[in-house]
Amino acid sequence: MEFTPGPAIHKVLCADCGTPIVPNSANLCVACLRNTVDITEGIPKQASVSFCRNCERFLSPPASWALARPESQELLAICLKKLKGLNKVRLTDAHFIWTEPHSKRLRVSLTIQKEVLTATILEQIFEIEYLVQHGQCPDCAKLAAKNTWKALVQVRQKVPHKRTFLFLEQLILKHGAQKDTISVKEVRDGLDFFYSSRSHAIKMVEFLGGVVPIRSKASEQLLSADTHSHTANFKYTYSVEIIPICKDDLVCIPLKLAKQMANINPLTLCSRVGNTLHLLDPSTLQACEITAPIYWRAPFESLTSVTDLVEFTVLDIEPTGNSRGKNVAADAQVALSGAFKSSHPHGKDDGMMDYENSSLANQIFHTRTHLGGILQPGDIAMGYFLSNSNFNSDDFASLPSHRVPDVILVKKAYQNRRKKNKVRKWKLRSIAKEAGEEGETGSGRGVVGRTGGRDQKKVEEDYELFLRELEEDEEMRGAVNLYRAKDDQPGAGSGLAGGKTRKKQQFDMEIDESAPVPPAADEEEEEDETDFPQVKLDELLEDFDEMTLEEQQV
C-alpha cells in the first residue's frame, strides 16, 4: 500500500508577535487577538443582588422575589439575569467560586464565546463579583408596618401542651406549605400565620384540613371603601380549631356515637390523628374513625393524656391469637412498678401517691391489651391506672363497672436506654425565626416555645415527648423530614429551628429537679433493650444549609 501524504498546511507569521499561526482573517494569534479585541466589553464585572433576611429570598429581575439556596442553580440564574450584554455573546459555562459565607460577596466564573472576525470565534473566561445587599421585600415591608397584612390564619387547640403544633410544624415543612407565609407568631393556645393575600390563607386552611381534624370559620373587616369605583379593602381572618384529642389519649365516646360506630366499646385509645380520629378498643382490637364533622356535632374531650401514664411491670403475657395490623391482643398480668404522680384536673399537682406502703403495692392486675406483639414478661409498660381514678365525665360515669378495666396499657417503655441520655443523631427544622412581634427578625429558634408566657421546662418536656414519639412510631416518623446531625456538635440530635441545634443535653423526664446523681456501677452495666426503636440512616436527609463546601463536593 502506497503512502499518500496529506496536503501541506501553510502557516503565516502573526502580524504583532511573529508567531507562526494558521492563516486567519486577522493574521493574529490568539494571544494578540485577545489583546486587540475584548469580547467581554459591555458586560459589567461587578453587580449587586438584593436579599431579604426575613424571608430569605433574592430579588429576581424584573420585580419578583424567589427563594434560592447558596450556590444553587436558582441563585445562579438570578445572578445571570442581573448582567447586561450577555445576549450579544454565547455563554458556554457558568459556576460559583467559593467565598466565605459572611463576606456578603458572590463570585461567578463565566466562559463566553463570540465571533470577532469572519469565521474567527474567540473564547474568554472572566470573573464577576456580586455584592449582596440586605433589604426587605415588599411582603416583609408591609408586615413590618403594623396592620398591613391582608389575611390571618389563627390555629388553636385547647390542650395543655404543644406537641400537636410541634408535629404540625414538621408537616408544614414536609409539604412546603410555609412558602407563602410572611410571618408566624406564637400565642397562648396555638399559632398565627400572616399572609399578604387572601388566596394564600385559604390555601393554608385547606392544607390544615387535610392533615388534622379541624373546623374553621372566616370573618372579614372593612378597612376602606371607594363609593365611586365600588371597590373596598378588607382584612380576612380564618379561625381554625383542632380537635382537642391527641395520640395515646384515653377517650370515652358518648354512648350514642359509640353505637353508630359499629357498637364499639366507649372506652378507647386514640391510636392515630390524621384528618380523622383513629380510635382503638385495646381489649377487642375493634377500631373506628371519627371525622371532624361528626365530632363537632357533639364534641367530647379526652379523659386523660400521656402525662398521666403510670409505669407497670409485666409479670406474664399470653397472646390470644387475634391481631389487627401491628396490634396483637393478649391477656396480661401487671403490677405497679413504683409511685406515680396524680394530676389535678386544672394542671396542679396534688402530690405523690406512694404505693410501697399500701395494699396496691403487691397487687396483681389482669387486663387485656393490644401490645401482645411487643411485650414480654419483665418489660416495663406505660398505662392508665383506672382503679382509683375519678374523671369529670358523664359518659365515663354512665359506664357499667364491668366495662371499666383496672389498667389500660398504652405503650412499652425503654428505661435502660433513656437513663444513658444518648445524643440523637438526627434533628428537625423549623419554619420561623425568633420574633417577638410581627415583622421582627432574629437568629434562630423554633416557632413553638418562643412566646406566650409558657414555662421553659414545660417547653423542653413537650419537645422531648415529641422526639420520643417520633422514635417509637415509624408511621409517624415517615410523615416528617428528619435531618442528619453533625457528630461534632453537642446536643445536635435535639435541634429545633432552621438547622440550629439545642446545646442542652437530653434529659430524663422522670428524674427529680435536684442535681443529678452519678449512676452506680451496676446501673451503668444495664443492657439496652434489644427492641429499642432506632432511626435508620436511610430515613435521614442531608442538611445542606450546614454542610461545608468539601462535604457537598464529596
Give yes or no: residues 236 and 253 share one domain.
Answer: no
User: In this structure, is residue 20 part of a structural domain?
Assistant: no
Most distant CA atoms of the chain, gap in Å = 114
Domain count, the chain: 3
CB atoms within 10 A of CB 3: 4
User: In this structure, is residue 257 part of a structural domain?
Assistant: yes
CB atoms within 10 A of CB 95: 11
Give yes or no: residues 388 and 300 share one domain.
Answer: yes
Q: Which residue range(s) make up the domain with 211?
A: 147-242
Please give the pLDDT value at position 418.
Answer: 57
Residue 356, C-beta contacts closer than 8 angstroms, at least 6 positions apart: 338, 339
User: In this structure, is residue 380 part of a structural domain?
Assistant: yes
Q: Are 335 and 364 in contact (CB under 8 A)?
A: yes
Q: Is the pLDDT of residue 31 over 80?
A: no
Looking at per-residue confidence, does 443 or 526 come out higher?
A: 526
Q: Give me the chain's average pLDDT, please.
A: 78
User: In this structure, is residue 287 part of a structural domain?
Assistant: yes
Give yes or no: residues 64 and 182 share one domain.
Answer: no
**What are 285-303's pLDDT values in tens digits?**
999 999 999 999 999 999 9
Cα 420 from Cα 338, distance rounded (Å) = 20
Q: Is the pLDDT of residue 552 over 50?
A: no
Give yes or no: residues 367 and 260 share one domain.
Answer: yes
Eight-state DSSP code of residue 162: -
Give yes or no: residues 383 and 262 share one domain.
Answer: yes
Q: Are 198 and 235 in contact (CB under 8 A)?
A: no
User: In this structure, is residue 31 part of a structural domain?
Assistant: no
Looking at per-residue confidence, does 504 or 520 come out higher?
A: 520
Which of 80, 98, 133 is a domain's end point? 133
**What are 456-507's pLDDT values in tens digits?**
677 788 888 888 888 888 888 888 888 888 754 443 333 333 333 333 333 3
Angle, helix 163-175 to helix 198-211, in steps of 10 degrees? 110
